[in-house]
Amino acid sequence: MVLASLARDNFEITAITMANIFDIARIAKVSTSTVSLAIRNSAKINEATKLRVQAVAKQLNYKPNHIARSLVQKKTNAIGVILPSSLNPIYIETNALIEKAAFERGYDTFAYFIDEDPLRERRFLEKIYEQQVDGLVMIPAYPDVNRDYYSALAESRVPVVIRDEIEWLSDVDSVSIDMEKGGYDAVKHLLALGHARIACVTTAFAVGRKLGRLRGYRKALAEHGIEFDETLVRSCGTQLADGYKVTKEILAMKDRPSAIFMQCDLLAMGAFSAIREEGLKVPDDISLVGFDDINFAPYLESPLTTVAHPKEKVAMALVETLMNRIENRDIEPRHIVVTPELIVRKSSGPYRV
């Protein structure tokens, strides 16, 4: 943190500790991406702004961060991994697979779980500038809230790969999952079983913010000539309790749906308790489909039908893409899209009148 006082056109620093581009941006009143460009003497910003930012950097005694130095001086053979939550099994499993893939290539990993807190995500994005790592794998949680921090990371030339595709970060390598196809396949499966009133549970958190699953849901309904009913779409958090609560609300509807498509398996796990408490059974009274295929999915009270994305393939693609970026800094960005697969188990059954 840097404490500073500004005297009109002159920057007078009263105390300095661990200055970074976020401190410079705050004092110069510009974005972190502008700071990054100014420090690199880029022609993309006007001269007055460039000189102003460079003056602040000089006053702060700004020094290139550890990552930047390591990029030209040495390799640490370590990468950082930032994940949305330590409470959702999908992220635990993903981290383990990333760690395995990195280890096989001679790299250690340092994992940071933000636990659905945008301030923690911001802190870890800032902290990454101080860590001696060669690159970063990131599953984004709050890119819109922390946009400046994401942009600064992209502008810094720190090798980074994101497990998602963010439109305004097209210059950053990405590995994404075709969520729309996953949603489409899930709902098409339920429609084929005779279900017409299908609830869809979404969340605005993390990769769900793009609502690809919901687009797939709507596409499948339209193809079957079923009018979209917004009352059947519910949004909630991402934990077991959220799945339980939203399922209670759905089951209390006057015209109760016969099936529920959940955005993630953890929500579906919470749904089982709510369904059981209402004296109903899966799939006899209500069918249930999740998304992720976490390790627990086949072992639930009614093995969960779910949309699986190949986690090993995703982890390998993330690590290989990052390794490639570390070794080849100037290549064009890669955007890999992985196709999910519907895994049919016992939690989805035919519609019963």
Residue 342 covered by a domain: no
Whole-number Å distance between alpha carbons of 311 and 293:
9
Alpha carbon of residue 270 to chain centroid? 22
183 in the same domain as 172: no
Q: 305-308 and 341-343: which strand pairing?
A: antiparallel
185 in the same domain as 207: yes
Residue 293 covered by a domain: yes
78 in the same domain as 93: yes
CATH at 40: 1.10.260
Of 283, 262, 261, give the one whose Cα is nearest residue 345: 283
What number of helices (H) and strands (E) belong to the chain? Answer: 12, 14
Residue 197 covered by a domain: yes
Residue 204 covered by a domain: yes
Q: Which residues are paired to 256 by β-bridges?
A: none
CA neighbours within 13 Å on the CB side: how many for 266?
17
266 in the same domain as 120: no
pLDDT of residue 18: 44
3-class state of residue 198 by DSSP: strand
pLDDT of residue 146: 85
Residue 122 covered by a domain: yes
Residue 247 covered by a domain: yes
Residues 247 and 275: beta-carbon distance below 8 Å: yes
Burial of 235 (C-beta count, 10 Å sphere; 0-12/13-18/19+):
middle
Residue 344 covered by a domain: no
Region for 176 from its dihedrals, namely left if φ exceeds 0, alpha if ψ lies in -120 to 50, beta otherwise: beta
Q: Is the pTM of this model over 0.75?
A: yes
Residue 346 covered by a domain: no
Asked, as a colleague might, if the bond just before 257 is cis with ω within 30 of 0, I would say: no
319 in the same domain as 172: yes
pLDDT of residue 2: 39
137 in the same domain as 94: yes
86 in the same domain as 41: no
276 in the same domain as 167: no
The tokens for 45 are: 């910003």
Tell me which residues of the chain have a pLDDT lower than 70. Answer: 1-19, 63-74, 129-131, 205-210
Provide the domain count of the chain: 3
pLDDT of residue 130: 63
**Helix-helix angle 147-155:21-28, to 10 degrees:** 120
Q: Is the dihedral of CA 276, 278, 283, 286 positive or negative?
A: negative
Whole-number Å distance between alpha carbons of 95 and 315:
8
192 in the same domain as 264: yes
288 in the same domain as 195: yes
CATH at 294: 3.40.50.2300
Q: Is the dihedral of CA 182, 188, 192, 195 positive or negative?
A: positive
Q: What residues make up the domain containing 24?
A: 3-59
